[in-house]
């Protein structure tokens, strides 16, 4: 608070004149060792007035009056200040009697300041509240020390508010308590905020614990149980349950913490399909977080005694479009869940769903890894199988279908090959696992199944998860799929020399089966082995044909050698014959011819004798000609 020099001068100017007042004030400013300036603070004005009091008389009276006005103005300013702050201020004349109070404290009780000042605490507060306050005041008056306390006090609107009160004793010169100054702040909101922060921190701690479990715990049952325990331990809920679906409609597993006997009973009823109303409502609701307040109707619920007077929060445990089940949290009595806690609980449910999803994926990956390992082992066994290279196609195909059916875990595996013109395909082998039997012979015509044959001709890989409705395979529904109970087909073209020659068909009996990428990739390998077996069969038949051709050639060579031997023998015999003929035939014939000609020149023969001898000569010449022709090979050439 500052006071203008002109105000002080004006007071004295009324009695001694303006100039005298100025000289007096200037003199006292010097006496107080102050700088001459336009205005002074409170302490400086008091020092100047104390110098003026020394003058006595009217000057002293004016100084005293100014000091009184200064004190009154100071008091009024303090009163205005105290009445315009939110902090409640009052003082106590004794342990149970009000002194002055400020506006904030009076308004807290919905009263006027005048109604509180001088009144007894017992007239303002309830009996219980007044006793607590009076006992606290007694401690301050007796101990003569400042004390800070927190008290719940009902305000004028009937609301319980938490006040943080500082009580400071004012001691007199003898060291006794003259009065106690009290200052209070309404910390209800702050207290609620702190409680909320504490609650949220506990939920965050639970989230952290659950997240740690997601990293370390890979067993599904342990993850669920430990997650419930983490929520109980970190947040202090009365009970926590996790209910998981078995088939998307019915609960197959229920675990929980809190109320052990009730959890066991709750689990049995849930698994049996006897769900309480709140669970049915949560399943029917599209909201992922549902809060059942304590006023709900639970008359027909078998679990009503455990939940009576408590709020229940039920959350969907879902991730990536998969609804795993429900998380139910039972709060302590008189505790409600706010939006922030609901949001954090939803995060817990989501984290648990992620953990379940990861465990499921890891299980699928392990299962697929085992299947792939099993399939690779089967392929290695096939690669070492002698039947595939023996060239016996029937044996080879049976080995392939048996091994493939067990590796892919399907009821039937069949092999079909095109017949001439690609207008039909014939089953060359069908293996049925349940009967451990092979069959063959069935024929399918393109005219009856045009869509399927078109897909085959295009070399398409057919993965019909729902074979009854797949446009490529639904033509088989009445004649093949339905009678045999086949729901899914996986058909792989068989290729030889770049052309489709048939198909390997995996036939799944039972509910529809979604073929995995690993299964689709594996399915191509047996088709390659069928091609290998067919090539081995072709090679075997070619080798047999070559062997027959070789044997035939060898036989012809032997016959030729025999023929040559016979020809050589014939040539030798001919030469012998010629020699013998020349020696035994030509010589006598020549002699006969010569002798006949000699007789013909004789004159001792009659006409008839001559005629006969002439005939002998002619026949002799014919014989000689014949023999000569034979010797010259003309006769033999003519015979050939």
Mean pLDDT score across all residues of the chain: 82
| pLDDT for the residue 303 | 66
Helix (H, G, I), strand (E, B) or coil at 511: coil
Position 509 pLDDT exceeds 90: yes
Looking at the predicted structure, is the pLDDT value of residue 131 above 80?
yes
Would you say residue 521 has pLDDT above 90?
A: no
Cα gap 636→142, rounded to integer Å: 168
Between 79 and 175, whose confidence is greater? Answer: 175
- What is the Cα–Cα distance from 217 to 223, expressed in whole angstroms? 6
pLDDT of residue 636: 47
Under the banding of pLDDT at 50, 70 and 90, the label for residue 187 is very high
Dump pLDDT digits (tens) for 243-256. 888 876 788 888 88
What is the reported pLDDT for 633?
A: 56
* In contact, 96 and 137? CB cutoff 8 Å: yes
CA 366 vs CA 137, 228, 358, 372, 521: distances in Å: 73, 27, 12, 10, 17
Residue 54 in tokens? 């020394």
The answer, yes or no, to whether residue 508 has pLDDT greater than 60, is yes
Given pLDDT bands bounded at 50, 70 and 90, which one contains residue 475?
Answer: very high
The more confidently predicted of residues 22 and 164 is: 164
> How many other C-beta atoms are found inside a 10 Å radius of the C-beta of residue 50?
14
Residues in the chain: 640
Q: Which residue has the higher pLDDT, 14 or 340?
A: 340
How confident is the model at residue 631, as a pLDDT? 64
Query: Is the model more confident about 93 or about 602?
Result: 93
User: Which two three-digit tokens encode residue 17?
Assistant: 């004149």
Give the model's pLDDT for residue 638: 47
Helix (H) or strand (E) holding 106: helix 103-108
Confidence of residue 391 (pLDDT cuts 50, 70, 90): low
Q: Is 566 or 438 the better-scoring residue by pLDDT?
A: 438
Q: Which range is least confidently modeled, 190-194, 245-249, 429-433?
A: 245-249
Predicted confidence (pLDDT) at residue 94 exceeds the cutoff of 80? yes
Mapping DSSP to helix (H, G, I), strand (E, B) and coil, where does residue 174 land? coil
Top-confidence range, 173-182, 267-276, 523-532:
173-182
The more confident residue out of 8 and 391 is 8
Task: Report the pLDDT value the prediction gives residue 221, as an integer from 0 to 100.
Answer: 85
Rounded Cα distance, 124 and 610, in Å: 198
Q: Which residues of 486-520 are buried (b: 16+ CB within 10 A; e: fewer)?
A: bbbbbbbbbeeeeebbbbbbbbbbeeebebeeebe
Find the mean pLDDT for residues 480-490. Answer: 93
In this prediction, residue 263 carries a pLDDT of: 62
Look at residue 639 in the predicted model and tell me its pLDDT.
42
Please tell me the distance from the alpha carbon of residue 509 to that of residue 405, in angstroms, as a whole number: 12
**pLDDT score of 95:** 93
Q: What is the mean pLDDT of residues 548-566?
A: 77
Q: How confident is the model over 416-431, as a mean pLDDT? A: 90
Give me the pLDDT at residue 510, please.
Answer: 92
Residue 532: the pLDDT is: 81
Indicate the burial class of 224 (C-beta count within 10 angstroms; 0-12, 13-18, 19 or more). buried
DSSP output for 379-404: HHHHHH-THHHH--HHHHHHHHHHHH
Distances (CA, A) of 554 to 235, 541, 558, 621: 98, 20, 6, 50
* Tokens read off for 189: 């909101």
Per residue in 32-42, pLDDT tens?
767 778 787 87
Q: Is the pLDDT of residue 640 over 50?
A: no
Q: What is the percent of the chain with per-residue pLDDT over 70, rounded to a whole number?
A: 87
| Structure confidence by residue, pLDDT tens digits, 283-331 | 888 888 888 766 555 666 666 666 777 788 899 999 988 899 999 888 8
Share of the chain above pLDDT 90, in %: 22
Predicted confidence at residue 388, as pLDDT, reads 67
Q: Is the pLDDT at 209 greater than 80, yes or no?
A: yes
> Which among 459, 544, 452 is positioned nearest to 489, based on CA atoms?
452
- Judged by average pLDDT, the poorest of 268-272, 343-347, 577-581, 599-603 is 577-581
d(CA 326, CA 245) in angstroms, rounded, equals 9
d(CA 304, CA 310): 10
Q: At what angle do helices 339-384 and 393-408 cross, to 10 degrees?
A: 160
98 compared with 195, residue with greater pLDDT: 98
Give 195's contacts (C-beta < 8 A, 6+ positions apart): none
Say which range, 278-292, 355-369, 378-392, has the weakest mean pLDDT.
378-392
Cα distance between residue 184 and residue 102, in whole Å: 11
| pLDDT class of 635 with cuts at 50, 70, 90 | very low
How much is the pLDDT for 425? Answer: 92
The CB-side HSE value for 48 (13 A sphere, CA atoms) comes to 28
Residues 569-591 have pLDDT tens digits of 777 777 776 676 666 667 777 77
What was the pLDDT predicted at 251?
Answer: 87
Which of residues 622 and 637 earns the better pLDDT score?
622
- Tell me: pLDDT of 370 over 90: no
Token pair recorded at residue 161: 């508010």
User: What's the rounded mean pLDDT across residues 191-205?
Assistant: 82
Q: Is pLDDT at 357 greater than 50 in this prediction? A: yes
Residues 6+ apart with CB under 8 A from 70: 3, 42, 45, 46, 49
Mean pLDDT lowest among 443-447, 496-500, 562-566, 635-639: 635-639
User: What pTM was computed for the model?
Assistant: 0.54
């Amino acid at each position: 608070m500052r006071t203008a020099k002109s105000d002080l001068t004006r007071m004295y100017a009324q009695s001694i004149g303006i100039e005298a007042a100025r000289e007096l004030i200037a003199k006292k400013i010097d006496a107080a060792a102050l700088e001459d300036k336009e205005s002074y603070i409170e302490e400086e004005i008091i020092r100047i007035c104390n110098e003026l009091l020394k003058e006595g008389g009217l000057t002293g009276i004016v100084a005293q009056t100014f000091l009184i006005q200064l004190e009154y103005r100071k008091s009024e300013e303090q009163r205005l200040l105290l009445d315009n702050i939110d902090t409640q201020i009052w003082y106590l004349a004794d342990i149970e009697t009000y002194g002055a109070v400020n506006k904030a404290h009076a308004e807290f009780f919905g009263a006027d300041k005048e109604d509180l000042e001088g009144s007894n605490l017992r007239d303002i507060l309830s009996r219980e509240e007044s006793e607590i306050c009076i006992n606290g005041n007694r401690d301050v008056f007796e101990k003569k020390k400042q004390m800070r306390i927190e008290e719940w006090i009902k305000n004028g609107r009937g609301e319980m508010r938490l006040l943080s009160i500082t009580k400071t004793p004012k001691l007199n010169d003898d060291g006794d308590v003259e009065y106690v100054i009290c200052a209070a702040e309404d910390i209800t909101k702050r207290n609620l905020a702190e409680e909320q922060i504490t609650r949220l921190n506990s939920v965050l701690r639970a989230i952290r614990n659950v997240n740690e479990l997601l990293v370390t715990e890979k067993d599904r049952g342990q993850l669920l149980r430990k997650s419930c325990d983490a929520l109980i331990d970190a947040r202090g809920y009365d009970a926590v349950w996790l209910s998981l679906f078995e088939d998307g409609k019915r609960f197959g597993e229920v675990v929980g913490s809190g109320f052990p006997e009730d959890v066991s009973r709750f689990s049995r009823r849930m698994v049996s399909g006897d769900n309480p109303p709140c669970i049915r409502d949560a399943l029917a609701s599209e909201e992922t977080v549902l809060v059942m307040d304590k006023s709900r109707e639970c008359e027909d619920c078998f679990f009503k005694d455990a939940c009576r007077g408590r709020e229940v929060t039920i959350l969907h445990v879902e991730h990536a479009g998969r609804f795993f089940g429900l998380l139910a949290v039972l709060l302590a009595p008189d505790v409600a869940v706010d939006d922030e806690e609901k949001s954090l609980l939803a995060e817990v449910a989501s984290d648990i769903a992620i953990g379940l999803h990861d465990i499921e994926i890891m299980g699928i990956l392990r299962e697929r890894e085992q299947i792939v390992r099993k399939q690779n082992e089967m392929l290695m066994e096939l690669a070492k199988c002698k039947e595939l290279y023996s060239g016996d196609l029937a044996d080879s195909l049976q080995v392939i279908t048996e091994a493939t059916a067990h590796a892919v875990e399907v009821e039937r595996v069949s092999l079909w090959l095109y017949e001439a013109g690609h207008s039909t395909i014939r089953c060359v082998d069908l293996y049925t696992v349940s009967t451990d039997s092979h069959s063959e012979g069935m024929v399918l015509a393109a005219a009856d199944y045009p869509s399927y044959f078109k897909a085959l001709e295009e070399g398409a890989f057919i993965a019909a998860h729902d074979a009854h409705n797949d446009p490529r395979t639904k033509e088989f529904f009445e004649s093949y799929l339905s009678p045999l109970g086949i729901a899914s087909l996986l058909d792989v073209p068989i290729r030889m020399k770049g052309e489709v020659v048939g198909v390997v068909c995996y036939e799944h009996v039972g509910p529809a089966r979604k073929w995995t990428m690993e299964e689709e990739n594996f399915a191509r390998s047996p088709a390659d082995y069928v091609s290998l077996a067919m090539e081995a069969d072709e090679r075997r038949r070619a080798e047999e044909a070559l062997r027959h051709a070789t044997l035939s050639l060898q036989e012809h060579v032997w016959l030729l050698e025999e023929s040559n031997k016979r020809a050589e023998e014939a040539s030798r015999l001919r030469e012998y014959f010629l020699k013998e003929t020349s020696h035994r035939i030509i010589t006598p014939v020549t002699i006969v011819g010569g002798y006949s000609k000699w007789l013909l020149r004789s004159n001792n023969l009659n006409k008839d004798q001559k005629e006969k001898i002439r005939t002998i000569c002619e026949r002799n010449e014919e014989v000689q000609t014949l023999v000569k022709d034979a010797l010259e090979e003309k006769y033999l050439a003519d015979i050939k």
